Amino acid sequence: MSEAAVPRGLEGEGPLVALIGQPNCGKSTLFNALAGFKANTGNFPGTSVAFTRSDVLVAGLPMRLIDLPGTYSLHPYDAAEQVTRDFLLSGQVDAIVAVVDASVLSRSLELTLELIETGLPLVIALNMMDDARRKGITIDVPALEARLGVPVVPTVATRGHGVVQVALKALHASRTRQSGILPTYDRDIEESLGTLIQAMPAELSVRMRVPTRFLAARLLQDDEAVRQAVGKAHPEVLTLADTQRRLLAEMHDWPEESVFSSHRHAAAMDLFEDVARVVRRTRDGWRERTDDVLMHPFWGIVGVVAALGGLFVASFFVGDRLAGVVGAPFEALMDAIGDRADTSLVWAMTRGLVEGLAGGAGIVLPYLVPLLLLMSFMEDVGYLPRAAFLIDGLLHRIGLHGKSVIPLVLGYGCNVPALMGTRILETTRDRVITALLVPLTACSARTVVILALVAGYLGPLWALGVYVLNILVTALVGRILSAVVPGHAPGLLMDIPPYRLPPAGTLARKTWFRIREFLVEAWPVLIVASIVMGALQFAGADDWLNGLLAPLTSGVLGLPAVVGVTLFFGILRKELSLVLLYSALGTANVASVMTPAQILTFTLFVTFYIPCVATIATQVREIGWRWTLVSAALNTGVAILVAATLGRLA
Amino acid sequence: MTLAQAVPGTRVRVVGRNRGRRHEANLAGLGIHVGDEVIVVRSAPFDGPLLVEVPASGVRIAVGRGMANGLFVEPADE
């Protein structure tokens, strides 16, 4: 809203088109369909928390497409909603694509009316038409178009239906600058709006790049950001707005803060009743029965445990099989060159190269592929909000917010999006606590270490034990943090979307894009670090590093001192600790050098200590340097404590 | 009575809201308004949230126990 909030780096060819919609309306799916699947999609609120940009060509015409975080209204309640609103009102947007979930049309229309009030050119993508049909809702599209004065395109984004038409209409709207028909409210409201509009200097509308009527409406809703922007130069307008709002509240016997929004709700309901018919509302058979089990107070909890346990067990068994098949040729290759490795620098580095390649293809990928595929399925099918629903009560007991469970579960995939996911939390306190807990969750990179070392050498049950321990430690640290950080967690309020069976293609593509991230970003780092490691070993520099870390590795943790260098490189990527372990020990059979207790200690330390550089960078951006340092200290402290204690016991 | 006291499976009408909690969450934005009829579908264990359906829009929302304590309801006729 403020004049300073204009985002940079958006230069480019063609109009800037922003996709806006309520969480879980299929906005990101539509964006992906247009952009060629670059962003993540997920069937739960709050997937896209930072905005994603894609430059696309539609019928040969360029367009800058922006996917904004989902928002329920233009009144921001959390950081993600704030991003959307600031961007929308920054004066950069040439056209809006309002993505509307047709199966909950009446609710979505409230946001649509708010968007029309901004005066920006607008196109409606009436998405999830299949869901609406299933619920027995038929929508008179021409009537909706006529009432709102903007193009309405029915879409099923998951199948790509209507997607191109939406883009074409948006291009057209950006050229004609045609905005929609403003909603008219009750006479009282309109009179108050009129009074305010007359009192407002034209300068305001020019400076803030929105119609005066929009500003007047926001003032009647006690919009803090607009109040500040207007109040600086024109305090008398605020006084008038407050008087009018109080007047309306008295006339309608309605709380002041919601008198305006309740009228907009009424306008949306009127519109809904005029354009939609609900012919039948039968209970949705299998979905309802599934929830009877999966949201059951007892069986639901059993389900959460089974789902998470099943995720890791299945990943282990599939991964173990794959690792055996894919890893074999690499092992043969490593054996072949192993004997000659120490004779020259070139050979030492070649061995590093082969080990880096083998580590990525033969150890990391086999476990990563099934894990990511299963996690994508759990996200897209809509299970996560249900898990949050079941666990909220427990989380509140330890002082956390139920919604924290979504970033925390995402953390088991990758900490980076999980940290960005903390923006769905309403209070700074909950955001900070959750952002300190996320780096403790065993992300897929650490899962690979756990599966390859603990499951591989000690057995899958031990690996599951490490997981349970990871969850318990995270919960315990959460309990302590929530006692230390002042404030209380507000109540949970969260959409529970219907189950949606993600099309196999969508699932495959989503998994592929996450794997590609490993292939192009992480694997090269693994290979380069592995080569550097080869050179270090040749020069004897690894001994120096190991000696430096020896008080920790062999002193406190009771590990062979040679693992020091692997823990150091592990800060770059957690998989590195695993891949480099083989070359540090000089064998692919870890059990021949380390005792089971040492393997367990090593894995526990890798699981809990300082997160990778990507996580640290994200943390700095999300919660600042100070908390990031606290987080690093916390991670290291917990890692030493857990690994040293349990290593002794085992 | 409050929403928290409503028995799962029953239909109630929202009649008011504890003023102290109004800034904490966007109840209206998610689709629950004063005057709406809602169905309490089920409740979560450990004093967890309630699953509430708004039949007029078909929306389903998890409402935390604290939030539900601040929402006043009365029984609605079927």
Residue at a domain's end among A213, A246, A278: A278
Are B58 and A301 inside 8 Å of each other by CB? no
- β-strands A276-278, A122-127 pairing: unpaired
Q: What is the pLDDT of residue A2?
A: 35
Secondary structure of A160-184 in HEC code, one letter for each residue: CECHHHHHHHHHHHHHHCCCCCCCC
Q: Do B65 and A491 touch (CB under 8 A)?
A: yes
**Cβ B25–A257 below 8 Å, yes or no?**
no
DSSP A506-557: HHHHHHHHHHHHIIIIIHHHHHHHHHHHHHHHHHTHHHHHHHHHHIIIIIIS
Do A272 and A310 lie in one domain? The reply is no
Chain A residues in contact with B42 by the CB 8 A cut-off are 291, 295-296
What are the pLDDT digits (tens) for A331-387? 788 777 766 655 788 888 888 888 888 878 887 888 888 888 888 888 888 898 898
Residue ranges of alpha helices (H) inside A339-425 are: 345-358, 365-381, 383-397, 405-411, 415-421
Q: Is A385 on the interface with B (CB under 8 A)?
A: yes
Region A548-572: mean pLDDT is: 89
Cross-strand pairs, B50:
B43, B63
Binary contact (A300, B46; C-beta < 8 A):
no
A40-49, A107-116, A608-617, range with the lowest pLDDT: A40-49
* Model pLDDT, residue A196: 92
Q: What value does the mean pLDDT take over residues A171-193?
A: 91
* Residue of A22, A101, A104, A107 to mutate, testing the B interface (most B Cβ within 10 Å of its Cβ): A107
Domain boundary among A176, A201, A236: A176
Interface list for A 397-426 with B (CB within 8 A):
397, 402, 426
Residue B40 confidence class, pLDDT cut points 50, 70, 90:
very high
Contacts of A302 (CB under 8 A, 6+ apart): none
Q: Would you say residue B42 has pLDDT above 50? A: yes
* A495 and chain B in contact, CB less than 8 A: yes
| Same-domain check for residues A419 and A563 | yes
Return left, alpha or beta for A471; rule: phi > 0 is left, psi -120 to 50 is alpha, else beta: alpha
Question: A97 and A237 share a domain?
Answer: no
Question: Is the pLDDT assigned to residue A615 strictly greater than 60?
Answer: yes
- Please state the domain count of chain A: 3
The per-residue pLDDT for A241 is: 92
Which pair of tokens denotes residue A649?
A: 């016991």
Instruction: Say whether both A552 and A592 belong to one domain.
Output: yes
Which chain A positions have a beta carbon within 8 Å of B67's beta carbon?
490-493
CB-based contact A354:A333 (threshold 8 Å): yes
What 3-state class would DSSP assign to A240? helix
Question: Across residues A411-438, what is the average pLDDT?
Answer: 85
From chain A, pick out residues whose CB is under 8 angstroms from the CB of B62.
385, 388-389, 392, 402, 492-496
H-type alpha helices, A150-298: 163-176, 187-199, 202-208, 212-220, 224-233, 235-252, 259-275, 285-294
**pLDDT tens string A74-98:** 888 887 788 888 888 888 899 999 9
Residue A453: pLDDT band with limits 50, 70, 90: very high
Cα separation, A313 vs A322, in Å, equals 14
pLDDT tens digit string along B7-30?
Answer: 999 999 998 887 654 555 678 888
The dihedral through the CA atoms of A220, A71, A148, A34 has a sign that is positive
C-alpha B29, offset from chain centre: 14
Q: Which chain B residues are closer than 8 Å to A391 by Cβ?
A: 48
- At residue A280, the 3 state secondary structure works out as coil
Helices (H), B22-76: 27-30, 65-69
Residues A217 and A327 in one domain: no
Shortest distance between the Cα of B1 and any Cα of chain A, in A, equals 18
- Contact yes or no for A398/A408 (Cβ under 8 A): no
Residues 6+ apart with CB under 8 A from A2: A86, A225, A228, A229
Residue of A nearest to B15 (CA): A254
Beta bridge partners of B32: none
Say yes or no: A255 and A304 in one domain: no
Dist. CA B52–CA B62, nearest whole Å? 6
- Report the candidate in A63, A128, A141 with the shortest Cα–Cα distance to residue A100: A128
Predicted local confidence at residue A36, as pLDDT:
65
Identify from A492, A494, A495, A499 which residue to disrupt to test chain B contact, counting B C-beta atoms within 10 A and taking the largest count. Answer: A492
**Do the chains contact at A390 and B48, CB–CB below 8 Å?**
yes
Give how far A481 is from chain B: nearest CA, Å: 21
Distance (Å) from the alpha carbon of B47 to chain A's nearest alpha carbon: 5
Find the residue in A nearest to B32 (Cα): A107
Of the candidates A176, A206, A234, which is a domain's last residue?
A: A176
| Range with lowest mean pLDDT among A109-118, A267-276, A413-422, A564-573 | A413-422
- What is the average per-residue pLDDT within A629-637? 95
Smallest CA–CA distance, residue B30 to chain A, in Å, is 6
Check if the beta carbon of residue A384 is closer than 8 Å to that of residue A44. yes
| Separation in Å, CA of B61 to nearest CA in chain A | 5
Chain A residues with CB inside 8 Å of B38's CB?
none
Q: Which of residues 10-29 of B touch A (CB under 8 A)?
A: 17, 19, 21-22, 24-29
Please list every residue in chain A whose beta carbon sits closer than 8 Å to the beta carbon of residue B34. 258, 262
In chain A, residues with a C-beta closer than 8 Å to the C-beta of B31 are: 104, 107
Residue among A278, A493, A495 with most chain B CBs within 10 A, to mutate: A493
Give me the residues of A, 269-308, that contact B with CB < 8 A.
269, 281, 291, 295-298, 300-301
Nearest Cα of chain B lies from the Cα of A513 at a distance, in angstroms, of: 31
Residues A324 and A411 both lie in one domain: yes
A226-248: pLDDT as tens digits: 888 888 888 999 999 999 999 99
Task: Give the CATH number for residue A272.
Answer: 1.10.287
Which residues does chain B have within 8 Å of residue A496's beta carbon, measured at their own beta carbons?
51, 60-62
Task: Name the CATH topology of B3-75.
Answer: SH3 type barrels. (2.30.30)
What residues does each domain of chain B span? 3-75
| Three-state secondary-structure class, residue A55 | strand
What pLDDT does A20 receive?
94
Which value does ipTM take for this structure? Answer: 0.93
**pLDDT value at residue B78:** 57
What is the average pLDDT across B37-64?
Answer: 91
- Residue of chain B with shortest Cα separation from A492: B64
Average pLDDT, chain A: 85
Asked whether residue A380 falls in the same domain as residue A270, the answer is no
| CA–CA gap between residue A107 and residue A119 (Å, rounded) | 21
Backbone angles phi, psi at A100, to 5 degrees: -115, 130
Instruction: Give buried/exposed letters for A92-106 (b at 16+ CB in 10 A, else e).
Output: bbbbbbbbbbbbbbb
A389 touches chain B (CB under 8 A): yes
The domain of A165 spans 3-176
For A:68-107, CB contacts with B below 8 A are: 72-73, 75, 77, 103-107
Spatial neighbors of A20 by CB under 8 A, at least 6 apart, are A27, A68, A71, A84, A88, A96, A97, A98, A99, A111, A115
pLDDT at A40 exceeding the cut of 50? no
Interface A–B counts its CB contacts (< 8 A) at 139
CA distance A627 to A419: 13
Does residue A597 surpass a pLDDT of 80?
A: yes
Write the pLDDT tens digit of every residue in A498-536.
888 888 877 888 788 778 877 887 788 888 888 888 888
| Mean pLDDT, rounded, for A262-290 | 85
In a domain, A283, yes or no: no
Q: What is the pLDDT of residue A50?
A: 58
The nearest CA of chain A is from the CA of B37 a distance in Å of 14
Residues A140 and A204 in one domain: no
Instruction: Output the average pLDDT for chain B.
Output: 86
- Chain B within 8 Å of A258 (Cβ-Cβ)? yes
Across A42-65, average pLDDT = 69
> Taking 70 as the threshold, does the pLDDT of residue A43 lie above it?
no
Q: Residues 6 or more apart from A506 whose CB is under 8 A from it?
A: A29, A41, A158, A380
Pairwise CB contact (< 8 Å): A493 & B47: no
Residue A31's domain is classified under what CATH number? 3.40.50.300
CB atoms within 10 A of CB A175: 13
Q: Is the pLDDT of residue A5 over 60?
A: no
pLDDT in tens, A141-158: 999 999 999 999 999 988
Q: Which residues contact A380 (CB under 8 A, 6 or more apart)?
A: A41, A42, A43, A500, A502, A506, A507, A510
The verdict on B59 touching A (C-beta cutoff 8 Å) is yes
Confidence of residue A51 (pLDDT cuts 50, 70, 90): low
**CA-to-CA separations, A14 to A10, A34, A66, in angstroms, rounded:** 11, 15, 12
Q: Which residues in chain B have their CB less than 8 angstroms from residue A255's CB?
A: 17, 19, 22
Cβ separation B26–A75 shorter than 8 A: yes
Q: How far B38 CA sits from the closest chain A CA (Å)?
A: 14
Please give the pLDDT value at position A15: 92
Q: Which residue of A has its CA nearest to B56?
A: A106
Domain-embedded: residue A182: no
